[in-house]
Amino acid sequence: MLRLDGKVAIVTGCGSFGDGWGNGKATAVLLARQGATVYGVDVNMDAAAITRTIVEAEGNSLHVGACDVTDATQIGALVSDCLMRFGRLDILINNVGRSEPGDPETMDEATWRKQLDINLTSAFLTSKATLPVMAQQGTGAIVNISSIAGMRWVGKDQIAYAAAKAGLVQFTKVTAVSYAARGVRLNCVVPGLMMTPIVQRLADKYNAGDYEGMVAKRNAQVPMGRMGDAWDVAHAALFLASDEARYITGTELVVDGGITAFTGWPG
Ligand SMILES: NC(=O)c1ccc[n+]([C@@H]2O[C@H](COP(=O)([O-])OP(=O)(O)OC[C@H]3O[C@@H](n4cnc5c(N)ncnc54)[C@H](O)[C@@H]3O)[C@@H](O)[C@H]2O)c1
């Protein structure tokens, strides 16, 4: 089940913001475990190298390369290099993303535009470069990592992130329809509140640096009583990328411990 032998996968943001498991890091490790040839990219090569060390210690291999996924030229070079090295491209995991605080009054225009670039335009650019390859092969799977912030207000003002992640879902749906007859599937994983290293950054940005308070607040928002982790995202991404999901395209897999099904604790 869920084997990826013979498949070549690109994972964007294969490093992690800090120690521990980010979503892209866990996904790169898991895809390699399942037999894929994984090409991981990141802007932080130290973080990517840590992921490679973990993969190699498990007896698998991870090729890492530098690529800023907001830059079309760098993405073009990445896809060419992947094809030159491995001859094909079966899976693309668009994992890069980050949030900045603000509502329309408090966020400046430059931050808004950068947020759209990193959370939405990045997936457009990587898709633009990889879809022709996948369509020519007649097979391929793209998994975009969105967020429940694109579906609900999740307790903090992050207007551009929320708008971009919602846009990513619809970008995925309409592109999936366009490419359905050409053998390429596109889907989203929609994580809820995950216990990844970025919780520290979120505590600094949204909770006056109170990490323990931020963790408690996030756990309390979840019907299951706790955040998920990067492996919950990685397993969902693996499923959508695998041949077991061959009839699934243009949809979302929400991984949120029940948050989006929930209307609040009775008072
Ligand atoms: N952690 C959560 O609670 C949570 C919840 C919902 C959605 N998500 C989404 O999951 C995804 C990944 O989260 P994570 O926890 O792994 O984040 P992370 O910040 O730990 O890791 C992201 C990696 O991407 C790299 N990166 C940043 N900008 C880049 C760029 N322009 N080009 C290439 N690489 C770049 C970073 O160097 C880092 O190694 C994001 O899209 C995020 O929005 C996370």
> How many CB atoms neighbour CB 111 within 10 A?
15
Ligand 1 site: residues with CB under 6 angstroms?
Answer: 12-13, 15-17, 22-24, 41-44, 47, 67-70, 95-98, 118, 145, 147, 191, 193-194, 196-198
In ligand 1, which atom is closest to the CA atom of 71? Answer: 31
Residue nearest to atom 36 of ligand 1 (CA): 13
Q: pLDDT per residue over 140-164, tens digit each?
A: 999 999 999 999 999 899 999 999 9
Q: Report the phi/psi class of residue 61: left, alpha or beta, with left for phi > 0 and alpha for psi in -120 to 50.
A: beta
Cα 92 to ligand 1 centroid, rounded to whole Å: 15
Q: Which helix (H) or strand (E) holds 84?
A: helix 72-86
pLDDT above 70 covers a percentage of the chain that reads 100
What pLDDT is stored for residue 265 in this prediction?
Answer: 77
Cβ 21 vs Cβ 95: under 8 Å? no
Q: pLDDT per residue over 162-215, tens digit each?
A: 999 999 999 999 999 999 999 999 999 999 999 999 999 899 988 999 999 999
pTM strictly above 0.95: yes
What pLDDT is stored for residue 266 in this prediction?
Answer: 77
More confident residue, 263 or 234: 234
In ligand 1, which atom is closest to the CA atom of 191? Answer: 6
Q: Would you say residue 18 has pLDDT above 80?
A: yes
Residue nearest to atom 31 of ligand 1 (CA): 68
Cα 267 to ligand 1 centroid, rounded to whole Å: 35
Alpha carbon of 159 to those of 151, 167, 188: distances in Å? Answer: 12, 12, 20
In ligand 1, which atom is closest to the CA atom of 69? Answer: 32
Q: pLDDT per residue over 92-119, tens digit each?
A: 999 999 999 999 999 999 999 999 999 9
What pLDDT is stored for residue 7 in this prediction?
Answer: 98
What pLDDT is stored for residue 146 in this prediction?
Answer: 98
- Residue 98 tokens, joined: 């980050």
What domains does the chain contain, in order, with CATH numbers?
Answer: 8-194+229-255 (3.40.50.720)
> What is the number of helices (H) and of strands (E) in the chain?
9, 7
Cα(88)–Cα(75) distance, integer angstroms: 16
Instruction: Name 108's Cβ contacts closer than 8 Å, sequence gap at least 6.
Output: 102
For residue 248, the SS3 value is coil
Q: pLDDT per residue over 24-68, tens digit each?
A: 999 999 999 999 999 999 999 999 999 999 999 999 999 999 999
Rounded to 10 degrees, what is the CA torsion of 54, 56, 60, 66? Answer: 80
Residue nearest to atom 21 of ligand 1 (CA): 16
Which are the catalytic amino acids? 161
